C-alpha cells in the first residue's frame, strides 16, 4: 500500500499520547477531529465505539487538510480532550503529525503493530469527505478501507457505503442521531447569548465558557 504520508523530523510516523488510560490494547478505535469544541454528540460516538474495542483514542491533528486552525488554540483543544478522557475509562488522547485519516491510521499502525486491530470512528459527513477526497491517485480510499475498518455514525442521515465496502464500513449505532448538535452550533449559541451548556460534555463546560466568548465570533 502506497498512501500519501508525511513524516516528522525523525522520519518515523507515530502518535504522541497526551493521556492514556490503558497500557496495552488488542483493539483500538481512532477518533480524529477538530474539537472546536467537543460536543455531547462526539462523546456519544466515542462511547458507542468503545463497545467495539478496548480503547478509543481521541486524536487532534497538528494541522487540518480541509480547514484552517481557527478559534480555540491547539493547546486549548487538548485541554478539553484531557478533561473528557479523565472522566471515562478506556478513553485516551493523542496528537497526530498527520492530517488525513489515512495518514493518521498509518501512524497508529506504526505505533501498535500488526497484532492490534485498528478501526476509525467518524460521523457521516467525515466519511463522505474522506471517501471523495483527492488523494492524488485513484484507489487510495479502497486501500485504506481494506486495511482499516470504519465505523460511521448517522449525522443528518445514514452513510451508505459502496457495495464493495459494505463488509468494512459499518453503522455505529447510538441512542440518538444528535443532528441538532455540532461544534459550530455551540459557537453560534455562545456568540448569540443563547443557552449552550447542554450541548457539550459537563466536564468541559467551564473551559468552553472561558475559551469561547462572543468577542471571538
Mean pLDDT of 108-134: 93
The pTM of the whole model exceeds 0.85? yes
41 phi and psi angles, rounded to 5 deg: -65, -45
Contact criterion met (CB below 8 Å) for 96 and 61: yes
User: What is the overall mean pLDDT for the chain?
Assistant: 89
**Mean pLDDT, residues 158-173 taken together:** 94
Closest CA to 52 of 86, 28, 21: 28
CB 45 within 8 A of CB 33: no
Domain 16-179 of CATH type 3.10.20.600: no
* Set of cell numbers at residue 54: 478496548
Cβ(50)–Cβ(90) below 8 Å: yes
Kindly list the domain boundaries of the chain, sorted by start residue.
16-179
Amino acid at each position: 500500500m502506497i498512501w500519501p504520508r508525511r513524516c516528522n523530523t525523525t522520519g518515523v510516523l507515530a502518535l504522541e499520547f497526551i493521556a492514556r488510560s490503558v497500557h496495552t490494547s488488542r483493539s483500538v478505535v481512532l477518533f480524529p477531529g477538530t474539537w472546536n469544541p467537543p460536543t455531547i454528540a462526539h462523546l456519544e460516538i466515542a462511547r458507542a465505539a468503545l463497545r467495539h474495542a478496548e480503547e478509543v483514542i481521541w486524536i487532534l491533528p497538528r494541522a487540518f487538510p480541509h480547514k484552517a486552525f481557527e478559534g480555540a488554540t491547539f493547546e486549548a483543544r487538548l485541554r478539553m480532550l484531557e478533561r473528557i478522557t479523565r472522566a471515562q475509562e478506556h478513553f485516551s488522547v493523542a496528537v497526530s503529525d498527520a492530517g488525513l485519516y489515512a495518514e493518521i491510521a498509518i501512524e497508529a499502525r506504526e505505533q501498535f503493530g500488526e497484532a492490534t486491530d485498528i478501526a476509525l470512528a467518524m460521523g457521516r459527513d467525515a466519511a463522505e469527505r474522506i471517501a471523495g477526497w483527492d488523494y492524488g491517485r485513484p484507489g487510495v480510499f479502497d486501500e485504506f478501507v481494506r486495511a482499516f475498518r470504519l465505523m460511521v455514525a448517522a449525522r443528518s442521515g445514514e452513510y451508505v457505503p459502496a457495495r464493495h465496502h459494505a463488509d468494512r464500513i459499518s453503522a455505529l449505532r447510538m441512542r440518538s442521531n444528535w443532528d441538532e448538535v455540532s461544534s459550530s452550533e455551540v459557537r453560534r449559541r455562545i456568540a448569540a447569548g443563547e443557552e449552550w451548556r447542554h450541548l457539550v460534555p459537563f466536564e468541559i463546560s467551564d473551559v468552553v465558557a472561558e475559551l469561547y466568548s462572543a468577542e471571538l465570533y
